[in-house]
Structure 1
Amino acid sequence: MKKPVISFIISALIGLGVGYLVFDVVAADDSNKTEVVADKESTSQPASDHNKEEATTVATEENLLQAKGCLGCHSVSGLNLSGGVTGPDLTQSFNNVEGKHGKPLDQFLKEPTSAVMSGVISGNPLTDEEITGLVKLLEEASQSH
């Protein structure tokens, strides 16, 4: 009984680790492509200042979440960002993290209390500016639904 459980846990950890490493490499390439696509769209189509600001915000949101690897495991339906399905959708994380993990989102992103996120954050730490940006994005996502 113990051997299959241990094998499962080891396999799951290896699978998550390999998936994270692969996504980290892919996300670095995709973030540059997203910026180019956003630039082409904003210059090729005339739009009002509001539409340009909205397009820039969406591109920035996606870039930050992709650059930090969040979309490798998570999606954010509140921002219409699809991603991985390994982790939960982050749309309500601004409202739910404190209840689930005992600390506000900004503190959780500095020092996660979950084993998986502790490993992810320690391998790719966030700056204070990135944490502030992510908290703002996730607050917006929580208000959209």
Structure 2
Amino acid sequence: MKNAIIIFLVFALIGFGGGYLVSQTMKGTDDVAAPTPAETEEANNAGNEPATNESEGSNSGGATAVSAEGEIISQKGCLACHSVEKLGLTGGTTGPDLSQAYANVQDKHGKPINEFLKEPTTAVMSSVMGGNPLTDDEINQIVEALKIASEK
């Protein structure tokens, strides 16, 4: 009985510790990514568009629309776990590629993508977004970007 309790406590601590690390990683990503729009605007005003594409993680040559579409996804830290290959955004591999999320979330999670982003149905997304919820405007921007990705 004592061994079972000790094992439970060890696994509980590991689970909470892992959740905390993911949460802190997402917060740290937001802090780093937040200045990007201002830097992007300054770079565009100076005529340095190639640097902007690199900072957005774009692999496609000179597509400024990709940078604009992916900006919100980068700002909110989604790229810490996800990629959006269709927008030229390379990120983490923990989560799935979001290129087809606009079309697939309804079937996969039983609710439209905008509702999923308000109240995720997965434990990981619930814990990640619980500490940093999206505003309605941010949700609309992300949904629009993912719609564009799904049409490419």
- Pair 1:125 & 2:133 matched: yes
Partner of 1:25: 31
TM-aligned CA deviation for residue 79 of structure 1: 0.5
Q: After superposition, where does 1:51-90 map in structure 2 within 5 Å?
A: 55=64, 57-90=65-98
Contact residue 33 and residue 75 of structure 2 kept, 8 A: yes
- Pair 1:15 & 2:21 matched: yes
User: In the alignment, residue 145 of structure 2 is paired with which amino acid?
Assistant: L
TM-aligned CA deviation for residue 141 of structure 1: 1.1
Contact residue 66 and residue 88 of structure 2 kept, 8 A: no
Distance verdict in 2 for CA 1:119–1:84, change over 3 Å? same
Output the aligned Cα RMSD.
Answer: 2.2
TM-score by length of 2: 0.73
Give the number of equivalent residue pairs. 132
2: CA distance, partners of 1:65 / 1:20: 12
Contact residue 70 and residue 145 of structure 2 kept, 8 A: no
TM-score by length of 1: 0.76
The structure having more radius of gyration, on CA atoms, is 2
TM-aligned CA deviation for residue 22 of structure 1: 1.4
Give structure 1 regions of 4+ aligned residues with deviation exceeding 4 angstroms: none
Q: Which has the higher helix share?
A: 1
Gaps of 5+ in 1: 43-53
Contact residue 92 and residue 142 of structure 1 kept, 8 A: yes
Gaps of 5+ in 2: 1-6, 50-62
Query: How high is the sequence identity, in percent, across the aligned residues?
Result: 42
